[in-house]
Structures are given as structure tokens and as C-alpha cells.
Amino acid sequence: MSLFAISLSAQTSEYKVFYFSGNPKIVDKKVETNLVRDSYISTKSTLKVPAGSYVVLTNKNDVPMGINNPGTYSVTDLNKIYEDVGNSNLTQEFFNYIANNMIQNSQKERKSGGVYRAVGDIIRDPFDDAMVIENYVVLNWANPKQKKLYLKIYDEESGEPIIDNFATTDSAFIVKFDEKIYQKGRKYSWIVSPTAGDPDSGTILRTFTFADDAWKSEYQKEVDEINKTQNEYMRKIKLIRLSLDKNIYPILELY
């Protein structure tokens, strides 16, 4: 090994960035840079976690650690955190804590986007740009007083209505895949509103896609690779990260 390689190795800690949400930073010599997935934290830098952010690190034993308390963390601080929780044992309770935080923080990021502001608080699930791997998807919205609302589903590309002003007093609607109506791999937009007719110009609708065979095949290859992970909890967390990355809906039913 060259002297240069030894020097680089000495500057790299055992901690790797597995997942993050929000806007955490790496600070090195007062210069802030964005986190990069699967990159190691330098022993000379610090991890800055602002309010509303969440970071999951892994150590040399592939043990994950979630950090959501705002603050700046040196490698020494990270060592202490790992010592406090146990450096090699990941319990079901702790796995649930990390997994739930990953999912909840991902949902917070989605809700802070323009789509949620555009359609208002009435729309609940699924989140925007959802990739549906089943042959159905349940659309949910708030309607506690059972008012008459109008559901509209459009072909995103052509703008043609698939379901046009379906009147309902319910708060959910099951969209079942029918090859005569829908096409896998094609994006569909939807909205529920108190009035009939097309949405006002500029309204942003949520979208979903029924995954096609090619997408499912590539996804399955990644799942098969993750399933080689020996640590059961780490395997599940990797699957959750993959699901969040690919906008798979629903997330929780996968595990």
C-alpha cells in the first residue's frame, strides 16, 4: 500500500452515510457540503444535523444508528453514541425506531413539497408519484362530515379523463388495474374536490403509476441483492431505503 493510500485511510472513519432526509451537512474546515449516500465520514470533519433532518449511519459491523437530534457531531461523538446503544446488537425495538423515523421523515419531506400545498390538506394517500406494485391502489382523502366530493382521474400524458367527476361521500376509492382502462408503466393523476368539472388551471395533481414488468424485474434484482445481507435487521432497513428511493406504495405492507 502506498503512503498516500495509508494517509487517506487514516483520515476516513468507520462511519458511512446510509440514509438521510432534510438538509444535513458535512463540515470540514468550516466549509459545508451536502451528504452523499454510502460515503464515509472523515475523521477531521463533523456531521451537522439541523432541526427537521434525520441521518442513518452504519459502522464497520454494518450496525445502523439513527440521529435526529439537532447538533454537530464529531467522530468522537459518534463513537460515544455507538457505545451507549451497543456496538453490535440491534434489537427489534431499535430497528423499529430507525425504520419508522426513515419512513416518517420521508413523508415529511413529501408533505413540504408544492404538490401538497396545491391540492390542500384534504388529500392523504398515496403520496405523489407513487409506484404501485400491486394491481390496485387505495386513494384516501379527508371527509369527516361525509360531504359530496368529486373524484377525477386523468391520463397524465394525454390529459384524457379516466374517471370523470365521480360523486362520492366516502373518504376512499379503490382503483383496480384493468388493462382495458389502465396501462402499466403509464402515469395517472388524480384529485378530489368539492366541485365538479376540471381542476383550475395551474392546479397540481398527485400521480401514481402501476409498475410494469420491466420495472418489477429491475426492482426484484435489487431486492435479491439486498437479501444476501446476513444481518436480518440491516436487510430490512436496506429494503426500506430501496422502497423510499423508488416511491413504492404502500411502504409498510412490504415488511
| Architecture per CATH, 116-255 | Sandwich (2.60)
| Domain locations in the chain as residue ranges | 3-98, 116-255
Mind listing the pLDDT tens digit for each residue in 69-123? 999 999 999 998 888 766 555 567 777 877 888 888 777 776 655 444 444 568 8
Q: Indicate the average pLDDT of the chain.
A: 85
Q: Which amino acid type is present at position 66?
A: G
pTM: 0.77
Give the pLDDT of residue 9: 42
Distances (CA, A) of 58 to 18, 35, 83: 6, 14, 13
Mind listing the pLDDT tens digit for each residue in 110-136? 665 544 444 456 888 998 999 999 999
Torsion of the alpha carbons at 161, 166, 170 and 174, rounded to the nearest 10 = -40
Give me the residues of the chain with pLDDT under 50, please: 1-10, 114-119
Give the pLDDT of residue 112: 56
Give the pLDDT of residue 111: 60
Give the pLDDT of residue 90: 59
Number of helical H runs and strand E runs in the chain:
6, 17
